[in-house]
């Protein structure tokens, strides 16, 4: 009965906190109820898409799932070594499936929401600022979607917030136990989030300053752990991080605008990038779409929203620099370090999925603008900023409500596509083997789901093997020539799986596939199946040196962290 009694006591204490003391003002009870509701909705948004309505792995996830078990750990250290090591254990000892490999990011996403109220109480005095911070953490679309993605970015956000929380607890108590937790979290966390190094300068400077003034005995372990972490960073740099070629940075600079490429004014580029990050807490506005507002009105609403968040950011920075210098070390110093690394071309800048952890800092800075002490706690007006800036736009202007992964990532229906391919082939061709051409964004998902996924591979592998001669085209340039050859040599039909049908439809319109006719087309999320009948008259493919230019769809591809910089 003792475990039941403990659970009942914990539940009773939780309910007491939610409803507040019996004599607590109505405003305080409202704040507590609203906080609980925000956290509960944040949990539900992360559970949907993990426990139910989960999407399949898309290109990046499939690629890294195979890397996890095929490559040595040193070659995977472009991602955090601890994250990849645990992922390998989970994949090899449990299953190389979506819920298993996404477990750590999902758990980190849930912990982010759970710790948000505790961190808000340490950071802010005003309940309005606290509620707004919790609302952002609970409803942020990229934080939601990347918690259901096999990538370490959700872990990074959680660990940054945890490190700030541990630092504030030590700052408030000066206890050796709290310092121990801070140093332990900083050391272990760096193995699961490489970008945690951006938080280290502010955290360790503040901890060392506090110990120097009040607890000099605690200074030695702070310096010792800082030296240990620095050694780990240097080791990882020479072990793996410096192997990334400089050409990758040039690709990121020109394609994704995360490094200054010299084509524009440096000052204007810096301002644009920083304002983009200042507006990162309200990233959901990019998905606003309602039928009762025309395009101009919606764009005007977005501009007003941008202005509000930028004003909150500016005011927050002023407050931190003028009255909250210790908090400034925790919130502003990491951003200064990020900018330094970007100027050295070591780290991308902007509202980018690699920078998901920036959401925590930018949200806290914006909420600081509302953190004016009040004589009366929990007035009704405290819920207004969170309602107007986060909850109401979420309910009214976003019809999707994070039902599908889309914020800095993709959803996928590749297992359903494979079953549809087998069904369509049987209906159109029967048992004859036909060529199947995969474009560069279909090769890895195809290989993962036909060879590595323990369930889907058993369902489709034999049928795929007996029905198709598969050809993977890992680059865009040879795709048209390969497809044309397959069409000419196919007994009846040549099949293809591609990420978007637009380039192939353009080829047909321009007669770049000869007289081939489209016999079947079926869409499955972001991928498409097509079947082409043989040309009525043979058409020779153009010579190698005269390959016709193909329409590119590179702009539809999000950044792949597999081509990351040193970090």
DSSP of 274-327: HHHHHTGGGGGGGG---TTS-HHHHHHHHHHHHHHHHHHHHHHHHHHHHH-HHH
* Neighbour count for residue 328 (Cβ, 10 Å): 20
pLDDT at 547: 43
87 contacts 133 by C-beta, under 8 angstroms? no
Report the range out of 95-104, 214-223, 466-475 with the highest average pLDDT: 95-104
DSSP per-residue letters across 10-62: HHHHHHHHHH--TTS-HHHHHHHHHHHHHHHHHHHHHHBTTTBSPPPP-HHHH
Q: What is the pLDDT of residues 233-258, one digit of tens each?
A: 888 777 766 666 665 666 666 667 78
**CA proximity to 306, closest of 124, 298, 128, 266:** 298
Confidence check: pLDDT of 416 > 90 = yes
**CA proximity to 134, closest of 363, 322, 394, 294:** 363
* Neighbour count for residue 515 (Cβ, 10 Å): 14
pLDDT at 261: 76
Residues 6+ apart with CB under 8 A from 84: 68, 73, 76, 77
Quote the tokens at residue 205: 């400077």
> Which residue has 């959803």 as its token pair?
411
What mean pLDDT, rounded, does the chain reach? 83
* Neighbour count for residue 114 (Cβ, 10 Å): 14
Q: Which residue has the higher pLDDT, 468 or 501?
A: 468
Pairwise CA distance, residues 2 & 316, whole Å: 48
* Neighbour count for residue 63 (Cβ, 10 Å): 19
pLDDT at 38: 94
Confidence check: pLDDT of 53 > 60 = yes
Q: What is the pLDDT of residues 152-185, one digit of tens each?
A: 999 999 999 999 999 999 998 888 899 999 999 9
Band (343; pLDDT cuts 50, 70, 90): confident
Q: Name the least confident of 355-369, 375-389, 491-505.
A: 375-389
Task: Give the DSSP H/E element, type plus range, for residue 163.
Answer: helix 153-173
Q: How far is CA 158 from CA 113, 116, 358, in A?
A: 9, 10, 11
Alpha helices in 442-526 (DSSP H): 443-447, 456-467, 479-489, 502-509
> Which residue has 């082409």 as its token pair?
532
Band (562; pLDDT cuts 50, 70, 90): very low
Quote the tokens at residue 129: 């600022």
Phi-psi region of 346 (alpha: psi -120 to 50; beta: other; left: phi over 0): alpha
What structural domains does the chain harbor?
25-396 (no CATH), 414-557 (3.40.190)
3-state secondary structure of 435: strand
Pairwise CA distance, residues 488 & 169, whole Å: 70
190 contacts 232 by C-beta, under 8 angstroms? yes
Q: Which residue has the higher pLDDT, 386 or 200?
A: 200
347 contacts 338 by C-beta, under 8 angstroms? yes
């Amino acid at each position: 009965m003792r475990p039941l009694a403990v659970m009942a006591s914990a539940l009773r204490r939780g309910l007491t906190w939610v409803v507040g003391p019996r004599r607590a003002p109505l405003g305080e009870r409202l704040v507590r109820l609203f906080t609980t509701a925000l956290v509960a909705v944040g949990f539900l948004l992360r559970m949907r898409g993990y426990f139910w309505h989960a999407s399949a792995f898309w290109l990046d996830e499939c690629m890294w799932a195979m890397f996890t078990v095929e490559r040595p750990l040193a070659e995977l250290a472009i991602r955090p070594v601890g994250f990849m090591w645990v992922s390998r254990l989970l994949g090899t000892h449990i299953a190389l499936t979506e819920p298993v490999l996404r477990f750590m990011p999902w758990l980190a996403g849930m912990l982010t929401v759970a710790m948000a109220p505790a961190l808000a109480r340490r950071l802010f005095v005003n309940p309005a600022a606290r509620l707004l911070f919790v609302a952002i953490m609970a409803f942020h679309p990229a934080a939601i979607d990347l918690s259901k993605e096999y990538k370490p970015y959700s872990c990074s956000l959680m660990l940054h917030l945890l490190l700030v929380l541990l630092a504030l607890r030590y700052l408030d108590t000066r206890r050796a136990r709290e310092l121990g937790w801070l140093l332990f979290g900083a050391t272990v966390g760096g193995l699961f989030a490489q970008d945690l190094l951006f938080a280290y300068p502010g955290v360790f400077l503040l901890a060392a300053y506090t110990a120097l003034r009040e607890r000099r005995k605690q200074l030695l372990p702070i310096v010792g752990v800082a030296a240990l972490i620095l050694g780990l960073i240097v080791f990882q740099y020479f072990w793996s991080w410096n192997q990334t070629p400089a050409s990758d940075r040039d690709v990121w600079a020109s394609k994704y605008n995360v490094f200054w490429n010299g084509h524009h004014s440096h000052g204007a580029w810096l301002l644009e990038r920083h304002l983009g990050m200042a507006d990162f807490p309200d990233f959901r506005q990019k998905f606003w779409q309602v039928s009762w507002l025309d395009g101009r009105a919606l764009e005007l609403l977005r501009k007003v929203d941008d202005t509000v968040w930028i004003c909150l950011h500016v005011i927050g920075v002023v407050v931190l620099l003028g009255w909250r210098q210790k908090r400034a070390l925790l919130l502003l110093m990491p951003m200064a370090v990020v900018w330094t690394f970007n100027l050295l071309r070591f780290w991308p800048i902007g509202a980018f999925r690699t920078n998901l952890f920036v959401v925590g800092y930018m949200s806290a800075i914006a909420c600081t603008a509302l953190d004016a002490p009040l004589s009366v706690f929990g007035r009704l007006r405290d819920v207004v900023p969170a309602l107007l800036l986060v909850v109401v736009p979420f309910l009214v202007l976003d019809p999707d409500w994070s039902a599908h992964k889309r914020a800095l990532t993709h959803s996928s229906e590749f297992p359903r596509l494979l079953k549809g391919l087998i069904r369509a082939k049987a209906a159109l061709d029967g048992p004859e083997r036909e060529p199947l051409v995969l474009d560069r964004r279909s090769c890895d998902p195809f290989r993962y789901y036909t060879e590595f996924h323990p369930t889907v591979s058993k369902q489709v592998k034999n049928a795929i093997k007996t029905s198709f001669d598969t050809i993977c085209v890992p680059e865009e340039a040879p795709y048209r020539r390969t497809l044309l050859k397959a069409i000419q040599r196919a007994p009846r039909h040549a099949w293809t799986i591609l990420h978007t049908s637009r380039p192939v439809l353009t080829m047909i319109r321009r007669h770049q596939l000869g007289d081939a006719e489209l016999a079947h087309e079926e869409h499955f999320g972001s991928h498409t199946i097509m079947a082409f009948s043989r040309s009525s008259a043979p058409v020779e493919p153009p010579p190698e040196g005269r390959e016709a230019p193909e329409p590119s769809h590179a702009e539809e591809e999000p950044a792949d962290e597999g081509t990351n910089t040193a970090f």
